[in-house]
Every structure is written in C-alpha cells, then in structure tokens.
Amino acid sequence: DLARNGTDGLGGGGGGSGSQSGANVAPGGDGGDGVIILRIADAEYSGTTTGSPTVATNVGGSGDTTITYLSTGTYTA
C-alpha cells in the first residue's frame, strides 16, 4: 500500500514509507495542514480579517465570536 497524506484542517501526520532490500519504495505521505481557531467576545470582534476564515458570532448563545482559518490569513483587533 502507498503512504497516505494527512487530512487538511486536522493537522494529522502523513503515512510512513516502507523499506525492502533492493526495491523502489514510494515516499511517505505529507502531513495535513493545521487549523487556527480564535474565540473572542462579540463586542470585541473588529471584523477585520484577510484570507477566507469562517466567522461565527454568538456561538452557542455565549456572546462569543469564533474565527476559523484553514489556510493563510490574518485578524486585526
């Protein structure tokens, strides 16, 4: 079996490669990209982001905002 890549957004490691004497073996898999989650009070959320984050306000009725990045981006308070 070939090594598998880790799942993006979960930060999992990639599969390892095998070794056999005298045989060409496929390289190991790449690790998955990670995730960044910021949680702040709704009243403090500036709304200034770059990239493509997922933004959820009043999460579970808590009065908090979560900003979730699966790729590059910024948040400015």
16-64 pLDDT, tens digit per residue, is: 766 666 666 667 777 777 788 999 999 999 999 999 999 999 999 999 9
pLDDT for the residue 40 = 96
- Pull the structure tokens for residue 69: 């990045």
C-alpha pair distances (Å), 70 with each of 14, 22, 40, 66, 67: 18, 40, 18, 13, 10
Q: What 3-state DSSP class applies to 12?
A: coil
pLDDT score recorded for residue 24: 63
pLDDT of residue 68: 93
Please determine, for residue 5, whether its predicted confidence score (pLDDT) is greater than 60.
yes
